[in-house]
Structure 1
Amino acid sequence: MSTLQQTSVVIIGAGPSGTVAAAILNRQNIGCVVLERSTFPRFSIGESLLPACMESLKKANMFEAVNLAGYQFKNGAAFRYQGQYTHFDFTEKYTPGEGTTFQVQRASFDKLLADEAQKQGVEIRYQHTVTAVDVASKRPVLSVIDEVGNPYQIQADFILDASGYGRVLPRLLDLEVPSDLPQRSALFTHVTDNISDSLAAELNYDRDKITIYVHPDNKSVWYWLIPFSNGVCSVGVVSTPDFFRAYPDDEIAALKQLTSEEPHLKQLFKNADFCHMSGTIGGYSANVKHLAASNYAMLGNAGEFLDPVFSSGVTIAMKSAELAAETLIRQFNGEAVDWQKDYAEPLMVGVDTFRAYVEGWYDGRFQNVVFFENANPDIKKKISAILAGYAWDTSNPYVANPQKRLSTLAEICSE
C-alpha cells in the first residue's frame, strides 16, 4: 500500500452505524473506506432491533436483505413484574413508519449489513487497526496497521467514528468524559431455550416480543429475554456491580441462579440448556466532550451510550449514521454546514428522549407507567412510539418534553 492514501471519508468500524453511513454516502458517489479491526462474523450484544431501525435500513438500501434473512419477527415489548404482565404493540403507535422489526444474533446481522455494503461498492478493510489520528489540519490523517502488521497512513476529508465500545476517536483525542448515569453492569449468555409451543401457551409467552423482567425483590434489577428464530435466546441481567458480588464468579452459575429467582423465567427455562458462551460488560454508559467537529464526528456508541433497557443502542447508532451521512452529503455538495446544529443537536433530541425514560425506569417513574392497569389508549400509543424507536418525532409531546411529561404521567399513574 502507498505511504499516504487518499479518500473522501474514512469510517472507523463496520458495525451497523458504519455500514449504514457508508452505504448512504456511497449511493451519492462519495468515496468511503471502512476500517474494521475485527473479522466478521464476530459476537456482539444489542440484539433486539426497534422498528425505527427499518427506516434507516431503507435509506441504506438494506431493508430487503434484512427482511429476507429469516430473523425472528418482533412486533413489540412485554414487561413482567411480580405476576403483572403488560405489553406494547409497536404497530399501535403514534408515529408513522414501520411497526415491526427483528431480533437478531449480531454476528450474522452485522456481517449481512457489511456484505450488503460491499455489494453496493463500499470498501471494507478487515483487521485494520487505527493507532493514531491527526485532526489538526483541514484533512485529517489516520495511522493504521493492516492485517499483516504493515503500517500505513490514510488521509480523508472527514472521519466518522463508528467503532462502538472501542471508542477510537474519544480515546485517541482525549474526548471521553464520565457519563452522568450510574455505572451498571450486564451479565449475559445465549441459551438453547427448548420452549415448546405448549409451554409458551401455558405461560403466556410471546416469542414475537422482547420480554423485560423486573427482579421480584429489587426493582432496580432487570432481565432481558430476546428469542431468536433458531431456538436460541439471549438472556441478560442488568444491575450495579455491587449486586453481582452476591452471586457466583462463574457467569453461567450466576445466570442460572438469577433466572431461577424470577418465577416466570424459572418456569420458562425449565428445559433450557445453558450451553453457549457467556459474558459481562460493565461501565458501558459513556459520553464525550462533543459529538462532532469540522472534520470528524462520532456515531452511535462511539459518542454516547445510555443503557440497554429499551434496546435503543442500535437505533441511535443507525440514526446517527443517517444524520451524519446526510450532513456530509450537503457538505460535499458545497453547502455551509454547522456540525453542532446540523448533526449533534438533532441527534441529541432522540438520545435525550431515551435518557429521560432510562432514568425514569431506574427511579421507578416509568415502571409505574408501564405497569399501570388503566392506560389511556392515546397516551399508550405515544409511549409505544418511543419504545419503537421513534424518539426524534417532536410532534409527540412525550418526545418534545420528555422529562416533564413523564413525571406528570407517572404521578397520575401512582395515584
Structure 2
Amino acid sequence: MTLSKERTQVLIIGAGPAGSVAAAMLRQQGREVVMLEREQFPRFSIGESLLPQSMEYIEAAGLLRDVVEAGFQYKNGAAFVRGERHTQFDFRDKFSSGWGTTYQVQRADFDHVLAKGAERMGAQLRFRHEVLAVEPGETPRVTVRSPEGEEYVIEADFILDASGFARLLPRLLELEAPSNFPARGAIFTHVQDNIAADAGFDRNKILITTHPEHVDVWYWTIPFSNGRCSLGVVAEKAFLDRYPGTDMERLQAIVGEAPNLSRLLANAEWGVMPVRQIMGYSSNVKSLWGPGYALLGNAGEFLDPVFSSGVTIAFKSAQLASDCLARKYAGESVDWEQEFAEPLRGGVKAFRTFVESWYAGGFQKIIFHESQQPEIRRMICSILAGYAWDRSNPYVAESARRLAVLEEICGA
C-alpha cells in the first residue's frame, strides 16, 4: 500500500514544554513546523514547579503573555524542612542576573497553553497523531497514524524528539543508555489542601521536606492557585515497597511520617485526583543527536525531580536546538556535538552534582547550616533557580570541587 506523503522543514514529536517552545522559536525564524502529539491536550503530566531560568526561554519564544495571563500560582523560592530545621531561598536574591520569579503550574493547563501559543504563532499542531516509525538521515521521514487510523509519511529537513518520558527516538533507534542513579520512584497526587492562612505556609514557594529518619527520602508540596497542592514522595523502590495497601494508602502512610506535613495537611481532602506512581524514571542516552535529528528534554536525559530542573532543561535544549537550526538554514555548518550536546550537558552536569549531594546528605548539611556566607548562599540560590549554565558562578564552573569543599566545612 502506498502511503500519502507530505513535507515540512522541521518536524517536532511531542507538544510538551520542549516541543512547544522549540516550535515557537522556530516560527520566529520563519520555519515551517509540524508538531505531532500522541495525546489529546489538556492531559496530566508531572513536573509542576518551574524555575525562574525557564521564564527567559518562555519570553524568548514569544509565549510570555500566554503564560502570565493563564493565572498560575506565583513562585519566588523554595523552602526546606527536616525535622525541626527550616530554611528557605528567595530566588530574587541570587548571584546570576535574570528572572527571580516564576510559577507553579498544573501541567495539563500549562502544556496546553504553550502548545496553543505555538499554534497561534503558525506551527501546525496535530493531537492524537502517533509516530510509528522513524528513518533518520539527510532527509529523515516518519510514519504516522492519524486519529482515524490512517497512516501517512512526513519528510522533513530535521526532526526534534520532544516526546518526554515516551522517549520515542531512543526506543526506536536503540539509543537508550543506563542511568547511573539508583532506581527511585515517586508516588504522588493532588489534594484540596485546606491549609489555614495562619499555618506559616508560604504558597509562593515549593516546600521540600526530608523524611525525619531517611536522608534520601523526600516529599514535595507544590501549592496551586486554586487551593490545591501537588503532593508526592520520592524514594528508592525498596523503601516504597515496604508499605502495603492501595497507592493512596501507601502515600498517606508515608506522608504521615513527616510531622510538618501531618500538621499542614490535617484538613486536606484526598481523592480529588487518582494517586499515580512513576518508577525508575532516571534515564540517559548514547547520544543527544544523530543524522537529521536531536533529542530535547526528557527524551534525552532525565535526572531527578528534587530541584525541579526537568522543564528548565527541556527549555534549554529547545533554545540550543533552535539556534543550531537557525545556523543550518543560514547555510552554516553546524557541529551538533559542540553546539548542542556539550552546552546542554554542561548545565545538566551542574544539576547532577547537586542532586547527588542531596541524596548523600551533604547538600542538606549545607542548606541547614547555621552560619551561611551570604555570597555563597546567593551562588547556590542561582543553581536552585535554574541558572546552571551561568559559568561565571563558581558553583557551576567547578560544581563538584566547590560543593565538596563546602560539604566538608559544613559537616565539620
Structure 2 unaligned segments of length 5 or more: list them: none
- Find the counterpart in structure 2 of residue 108 from structure 1: 109
Alignment of 1:8-407 (within 5 A): 8-135=9-136, 137-198=137-198, 200=199, 204-275=200-271, 276-407=273-404
Give distance in 2, aligned partners of 1:2 and 1:30: 25
Q: Secondary structure at the match of 2:392?
A: coil
* Residues matched between the structures, number: 410
Give 3-state SS (helix, strand or coil) of 2:289's partner: coil
Partners of 1:37 and 1:129 within 8 A in 2: yes
Quick one: distance in 1 between partners of 2:173 and 2:245?
35
In the alignment, the residues of structure 2 paired with residue 395 and residue 412 of structure 1 have an alpha-carbon distance, to the nearest angstrom, of 23
Deviation at 1:2, TM superposition (A): 7.0
User: Structure 2: how far apart are the matches of 1:31 and 1:330?
Assistant: 16
C-alpha deviation, 1:249, in angstroms? 3.4
Q: CA deviation at 1:55?
A: 0.2
SS in 2 for 1:98: coil
Runs of 4+ in 1 over 3 A off after TM superposition: none
Q: CA deviation at 1:67?
A: 1.3
- 8 Å contact kept, 1:186–1:237: yes
Structure-1 separation of matches of 2:366 and 2:13: 39
Q: How far is the alpha carbon of 1:244 from its aligned partner?
A: 1.0
- Look up the equivalent residue of 2:89 and give its one-letter code: F
Say whether the 8 Å CA contact 1:143–1:154 is kept in structure 2. yes
Deviation at 1:258, TM superposition (A): 1.2
Question: C-alpha separation between the residues in 1 aligned to 2:373 and 2:149?
Answer: 60
Partner-residue secondary structure (3-state), 2:111: helix
Which whole-Å CA distance do the structure 1 matches of 2:3 and 2:247 have between them? 46
2:4 is matched with 3
Task: Tell me the secondary structure at the aligned position of residue 290 of structure 2.
Answer: coil
Q: Please give the secondary structure, in 2, of the residue aligned with 1:352.
A: helix
For 2:275 and 2:107, locate their aligned partners in 1 and report how far apart those are by CA, in whole Å.
14
Q: In the aligned structure 1, how far is the partner of 2:245 from the partner of 2:171?
A: 30
Asked if the contact 2:3–2:151 (Cα under 8 Å) also holds between the matched residues in 1, the reply is no
For 2:183 and 2:327, the matched residues in 1 are separated by 38
- Does the aligned pair in 2 maintain the 1:294–1:339 contact within 8 Å? no
Cα offsets for 1:56-115 (capped at 9, x unmatched)? 001110112211211111000000001100011100000000000000000000000011
Letter aligned with residue 96 of structure 1: S
- Contact 1:75 1:208 survives alignment (8 Å): yes
Partner letter of residue 188 of structure 1? F
User: Aligned equivalents of 1:73 and 1:277: distance in 2?
Assistant: 25
Task: Note the alpha carbon deviations across 1:297-346, whole angstroms, 9 max, x for none.
Answer: 00000000000000000000011001111111111111110000000000
CA RMSD of aligned residues (A): 1.0
Identity over aligned pairs, percent: 53
Q: Please state whether the residue corresponding to 1:147 is helix, strand or coil.
A: coil
Unaligned runs of 5+ in 1: none
How many Å apart are 1:126 and its aligned residue?
0.6
Give the superposition deviation at 1:370.
1.3
Structure-1 separation of matches of 2:296 and 2:369: 35
Normalized against structure 2, the TM-score is what?
Answer: 0.98
- Output the CA distance in 2 between the equivalents of 1:123 and 1:323: 21
Q: Secondary structure at the match of 1:197?
A: coil
